Structure 1
């Protein structure tokens, strides 16, 4: 299978079936004869049988592996009428109203009847359409046409000739002035000033670490071009950025059509899908493409755009797209390619590195007394074993690892009071009930101001009478924190990386945003804030906990605070 990783004149191409022959023999053996397998739970052997349910490939692989037609007139074979325009290289809708029904799929009793004759069964889904490549190609079509990128745009001179041959969109026909021919700017294209503003807006976006690559490297602001976006960059652009950057450049109807296309892929890629949503997507995508046909020229609608119609139906048959797209396989193959050190012998380099990795993995899983990649993350995030066994309160067992070198300073008195109250709040209800019995008026403020001193006196009293009942954490909590604290520019909390605003001023990534679920005026609302400082507060016995000092957005003011619109919050 290493031959798949090395493109070039020696790649197998259509002869890949020769390399897959051993795999087919093993699949037949698994289905017909099975393989003797040991069940560790029941402690007995059994015959394991397996079947190939479906495959996951990109679109050109249909021709190499399965003999499907991926080029020419018969690419789209779903019953819709087509005509050939131009020089015979483009299929398009003929422009007339059609009432033919979509070809039906085998299901229900008919499928059950075929299952009784396994040799003649026709499965509803045999080969998955790869959402990753379809989304990337559609993104390239949209970006290339909007920005009029040479070699990427679908609005070429031949596309304008197709419009003239069809007799539609006369305002987009080629204009001949003497011996020269001019092509007017389409309503779906941006001029140079708009392209520069579009690219400048895109180049200023910042994202969290690991969310995506640096998209700014793909943007050329002076020329108004975008190039070199990878599959995951296009995935992010279609679902998150397109609806933000396109506003103000196109007409409202064009922006809404592109926004619905963006939301279609976003809902399709949800980790949790339900049947009503999938049925709605299946009904909406033809309408979305019809709206796009009223905007873009026929050359825009290649086979990849058409394949988006079939994606909701495949999700209905096979489940969420995360199990059916090429992202994990592309990453896995990319890891193999990084093993190559001798470019004259790439296959040998990959095989040698793979054997070394298997040996190291085997040793790491059986050596429990040393730190390996299988136990390193838990120690880094949760602290040492002694700290975990010592901490009995949740405030002293936070999963936080500070980043960088901290600087010590004395925290302001008002901030120290708030920090201490944050720790003590909701720890005990005895004092709150006592305050309520004495005087129910203004109970929350009196509880906050008097509880720290009462708590210290109460713990000292218990230590004098019943010292065995007072845990070390409770005693350290009652004694109060050290007024000198340590501030850090970054930390990792529960596996998520955070940085302060000052630290990220000169960085291309952004990890300063924090969202908290809460209530406002009796209704649930999300609060948003910007991280300004990460404070480590220490208690007796090297006990410590971490606080975020943030600046909050005003969610109550619709003009200055958070604004929520269709598919967009800012």
Structure 2
């Protein structure tokens, strides 16, 4: 979704939202879309040199939740605010919090799930209703057949309409709209931001924003659930997390949507291990994992189906922990996101991030604040004209269409040259010829000769002999006249020893990553030296980048680049932390390494193509340990291989990236997991707490006293 291909067909002026009357402004656009689908537009095909009739259809709209209601016509406020569950939306009024909460996640579980009969840990009732079925386009039109559409504008008399609807959407005038499975997308960006804000405000007990306060506790008492949290003197308490936050007054303000995106997917899981009990932290970690898997660049239907089954269970676990005031409509909409992704594809093409960036671009066009709309139209017209003209300029002229990427493959900066000793050069040369992919066939020829000469040797002895003698054998091999004619010149150059003058670089780009050596990070707050590689047996090795080497062979034009790494110890443990572990994967699915223990000092080199970038976060409980996290580089995608449809559905495809998926937690569904495992409570018992005392007062303010 590049801005170069965005169009601005409609700009509505005014300082306030148009609400239901937006259909009046959409009328010209709907007429053009209808004509584009029915009549088509004569278009010139530059490749074939002929014209054809082009037709196009509107797939769906991308909008935030309030705009969802304006475009779809459904009322996104009140007791039935969910457009998917419509009349079957489960909601109730909280008399003390004075808001509507949305429960009923147990309806999404399997019919025989034990949570359905668990009245103690939920709202005091059992749940045997079936999951609601979303309305199709034909179902919506059937409801409106009884009523006529509303009259737009200022109308005093009350207009009749179906329950839950404000209007009949103008998009239904498109002939194909009623058959679309997905018509309007719930924006994952705003939903994730709302979820992150709710969790952070609750964990930090932010004044006026936290969902856990005296009113929330009174609601628990009103519904007679979770008696340990009722606001009775000296019974129940709310933990104050402000002491654990190193910010002014324990507040985090001014976060934008992308900040919450990073917090939910990367930072929050790291902090849960040391700040919350496991029964609470693990559930929030599952929610973070759900968003991380949902927002992945490449997903398949089986993974999304797994997420679709997992999210109702996660929300049910949250119902057992958090007060009812936590569950607003934003939390309720999470349960439908995986289903939407199965129908409409990855969320990267349906969320608001590109749209919000484009809105910022439009705002930057404003030069005359008295006439903002005119400035925007003038800026858009100028942008389209310059973009169109740039397509006809010479390729050597830099434009926005051929601008170089920020991270390019290859070296960064000027090198420093050092003359190295013969031992160092021998080690480098041995590593290159024994591990270069281009010499793989030559190495197999040497092994075949060894098998013929020594048929009784086992694999270990053959590999050792091959490792010790391949260098000298390769020198004689390339001198054969027959081989000299068939072997590539660059490969023949590898038989000679490289130059003793080695180039050292500070940075190198490969596969969308920008690596930098550890030495230059001492004065920075960013990390670019963390590195991981997958071994021959699928073992993941972690370390940091120490040196970037450029090796030159006589007669070869291009340098061969190597990464010299320092590797951490790889003895892996699982579960609870122990001192004997060197690499540890905890119950949160996070991998930690001991950054004070090293190994493989004699095998420090890898090729840049073998490296993946990771970053390390210090563990608060164990200072010598760091948590390993991986990030996906921008504008890179794992394109799946094509699989024959006649083969089995469970056929697996090879990918070097599969091993590093272990760095992040994944959602697992155990049918026996939810047999009411243990008592899960929001009550903290790991530090001195506050008592919420309910004292009748004439003031509307709640009374909070410390013990």
- The answer to whether structure 1 residue 568 and structure 2 residue 582 are counterparts is no
* 1:149 pairs with 2:149: no
In the other structure, the counterpart of 1:104 is 133
CA contact (8 A) 2:411 2:505 kept: yes
Aligned partner of 2:568 in structure 1 is 553
Aligned position for 2:494: 477
Determine if the alignment matches structure 1 residue 487 to structure 2 residue 470. no
Supply the distance in 2 between the matched residues of 1:270 and 1:333 (Cα, whole angstroms).
25
Q: 1:556 to 1:66 in 2, by over 3 A?
A: same
How far did residue 47 of structure 1 move? 2.7
Question: How many Å separate the matches in 2 of 1:449 and 1:371?
Answer: 53
Q: Tell whether 2:427 aligns with 1:418.
A: yes
Q: Deviations over 1:206-259 (max 9, x none)?
A: xxxxxxxxxxxxxx2x53332222222222222233222111322222122212
Q: Which residue of 2 aligns with 1:131?
A: 188
Q: Is the contact made by 1:243 and 1:262 (CA closer than 8 Å) also made in structure 2?
A: yes
> In 1, distance between residues paired with 2:301 and 2:387?
41
Aligned-pair CA distance for 1:335: 3.3
The answer to whether the 8 A contact 1:4-1:11 is kept is: no
Sort the Cα spacing of 1:120 and 1:550 in 2 relative to 1 into closer, same or farther, 3 A.
Answer: closer
- Corresponding position of 1:166: 223
Moved more, 371-380 or 141-150: 371-380
2-side partners of 1:63 and 1:431: how far apart? Answer: 70
Tell me if the contact between 2:80 and 2:88 (Cα under 8 Å) persists in the aligned partners: no
2:270 to 244, 255, 278: 244
Which of residues 284, 287, 291 is equivalent to 2:317? 291
SS of the counterpart of 1:294?
helix
Q: Which moved more, 1:34-43 or 1:132-141?
A: 34-43
Alpha carbons of 1:129 and 1:376: their partners in 2 closer, same or farther (altered >3 Å)? closer
Residue pair 2:407, 2:509 contacting (<8 A) in 1 also: no
Measured in 1, the distance between the counterparts of 2:495 and 2:559 equals: 14
Partners of 1:91 and 1:446 in 2: how far apart?
71
TM-score, normalised on structure 1?
A: 0.78
Aligned position for 1:32: 38
Residues 477 and 539 of structure 1 are in contact (CA less than 8 Å); yes or no, is this contact kept in structure 2?
A: yes
CA displacement, residues 131-158 of structure 1 (integer Å, 9 cap, x when unaligned): 1111110111011101112233112333
> Equivalent residue for 1:391?
none
What's 1:336 paired with? 362
User: CA offsets per residue over residues 277-335 of structure 1, 9 Å max, x none?
Assistant: 43443333222222212211111100000111222222233233223222222233333
Distance in 1 between the 2:305 and 2:477 partners?
A: 62
**Pair 1:289–1:454, CA change in 2 (3 A):** closer
1:264 aligns with 2:290: yes
SS for the counterpart of 1:52 is coil
1:192 paired to 2:201: no
CA contact (8 A) 1:554 1:560 kept: no
The structure, 1 or 2, with the larger RCO (C-alpha pairs under 8 Å, 6+ apart) is 2
User: What RMSD over aligned residues (CA atoms) do the two structures have, in Å?
Assistant: 3.9
Q: Distance in 1 between matches of 2:419 and 2:134?
A: 72
Q: How far, CA to CA, are the matches of 2:202 and 2:554 in structure 1?
A: 64
1:22 maps to 2:28: yes
Quote the Cα distance in structure 2 between the aligned partners of 1:3 and 1:40.
25
Structure 1, unpaired ranges of 5+: 177-181, 200-219, 382-399
Q: Residues 364 and 401 (structure 1 numbering): CA distance in 2 closer, same or farther, change over 3 Å?
A: farther
Match of 2:163 in 1: none
Displacement after TM superposition at 1:405 (Å): 2.8
Mapped contact 2:91–2:100 kept (Cα < 8 A): no
Alpha-carbon distance between aligned partners in 1 of 2:15 and 2:229, rounded to the nearest angstrom? 42
**8 Å CA contact 1:27, 1:52 repeated in 2:** yes
- 8 Å CA contact 2:12–2:25 kept in 1: the answer is no
- Specify which of 516, 533, 536 is matched with residue 499 of structure 1: 516
**Using the alignment, how far apart are the partners of 2:92 and 2:406 within structure 1?**
64
CA positional deviation for 1:32? 2.7
Q: When the two structures are aligned, how many residues end up with a matched partner?
A: 514
- The answer as to whether partners of 1:364 and 1:372 remain within 8 angstroms in 2 is no
